[in-house]
Structures are given as C-alpha cells and as structure tokens.
Amino acid sequence: MNQRTIARRVELVGIGLHKGVPVNMILEPLPSNSGIVFYRSDVGISIPLCVENVIDTTMATVIGKNGVKVSTIEHLLSSVYAYGIDNLRIVLDNEEVPIMDGSSIGFCMLLEEAGIKELDEPKRVIEIIENVSIQDGDKFVRLEPSDNLIFDFAIDFSHQSIKKQHYRFTFTTQGYKEEIASARTFGFLHEVNQLRSMGLGLGGSLDNCIVLDKNKILNKGGLRYKEEFVRHKILDALGDMCLLGMHFIGGYFSFAGSHKLNHLLTKKLLESPNAYRYVDFSKASSKAPSYAKYVM
C-alpha cells in the first residue's frame, strides 16, 4: 500500500466551537512525503502537524506557530487517520476547525466526496515494539505492541447517565464509520456556562454536543450509541495519535485519558527510540490496519 492523499479539492463552511464564528475549510491534495499541513489563509501561515507544534491541550488539541494557532483539530484528524490519509493541506480562514455535529461523521462524508488517491511512494508506519505509558494518578494512556490496531478505553463518571463505560475497538475504516465516527463530544451544563463567561464555547449547542445537567441528558434525541461517551474518547484518541506524523500499528489503552495525556504519550514515544520502529506498510503484519479503498 502506498501513501494516500485526497483525489480532489473539497470545501465546506461550518461554525467554530469556541468562537462561534463561521469558518471556511478547504481540503487539498498534497504529494508524497508532505504530511498533514494546516494553512491559515487569513494570515498566510502554514502549520505542519507535528508534536512540536502542539501549544495547548486544555479543552482541545491546539497547534500553533509564530503566534498563529489552529484549534479543535482532533475530530477532523480522527477521520483523516481512519481513511489512511498521509498527505493533506487543510486551509482555514479562522483559528478553529468547524465543529460540525460534534462528531467526525461529517468529515468522513467529506473525505468520501473527495475520494482517496494512492501516490507513488510506499506508506510507512510506526510499529510499537515496547510498552510506553503516561500515568496521572489513576488516569493513564499506554501504547503496546499488537498485530492489530486496537483502541481500548474506559471511563468512570459519577453522573448517572455515564457511570462506568468501556469499549474496545479493533480498527477498520468501515468499523470506524459504524462504531466510532458518529459519537459526539459531550459536556456538563455548568461547564458550558463557565466557558461562555470566559468567551469560549460560543458555538456550542445541543446540535453539536451532548449536554448533561446534574441529572440527565438534555438532548431531545438522546444518545446515538449506548456507550457514546467512551466511543467519543476513542474518536479523540485516533485524532490525537495523528501527531505521531504517520499511522501506527499497536494497541492504545486508556483509563480516563485526555488530550493532554495523549500529547504526552506521543512525545514520550518519539523520545523512546527502542519502543518503536519504522516499517513499510507492505512489510508490516498481515493484521495491519484495514483501510477502506475509496481510491479514485
């Protein structure tokens, strides 16, 4: 399997979660070995996607360069990861990726509209060969060797609508679309009010976020999946792992992980040369990730 990009330019307009303003987003194909690059068209600054460019992980994963940033990148990157895309230019005229419906299913549809193009250079992946982990009290994120690409996540909230949830996802593109992509981000009403008092979360609504008060879910339609909360955590983790710069083969395990812990995990892995190796996808395990074709 060779590296991938999209077959044609596509675009959409959406609302940014925190600023609440319209954002024009264009996806453009790039040649082999270009990587994922964000471009702020309003200021003329390119920001390559890499661990070194992460500047904040408080409410979302944020990258920046020369005082210019792009926020809430994880949902889009999750779908980019799921379709096996290695090279892509993401053009934005504001500082946030559109929130869409709070999940990544809209981005999946956009990528399928664009089509996938295989390039002339072989696809390389990171194969995990030793455990690497980050611990914060009882919270942790960990990468382990595995023939399959696995995301295994558990959460434990006191809220009666969430409580303990666990989900294990063995990756395929089709499985991602069916099991993960439609899981929405979530938040608590008191947090929403606090964010808005700080001038944040201005684009958030029941149309793009699961909102919970002290007792219940406020969204009239309820949940899309029984374990939608933990499935969204897996969606986020897939996006955050894009910061490695290429796809990986291994197992991701977490209890109560976060964007911050995911960022620390990617940094630690890349600083641990004995824990991984680079391999051509064609020479990787026969159980290496199964990416949908959609090749034009």
CA 94 to chain centre: 19
Residue 232 assigned ligand-binding role: yes
**Axis crossing angle, helix 74-82 with helix 228-241, rounded to the nearest 10:** 80
259 is catalytic: yes
154 in Cβ contact with 165 (< 8 Å): yes
> Tokens standing for 70?
């792009």
- Of these residues, 18, 166, 247, 259, which one is catalytic? 259
> Tokens standing for 138?
């009882």
Residue 75 assigned ligand-binding role: yes
98 in Cβ contact with 207 (< 8 Å): no
Catalytic residue annotation: 259
| Binding site feature residues for Zn(2+) | 75, 232, 236
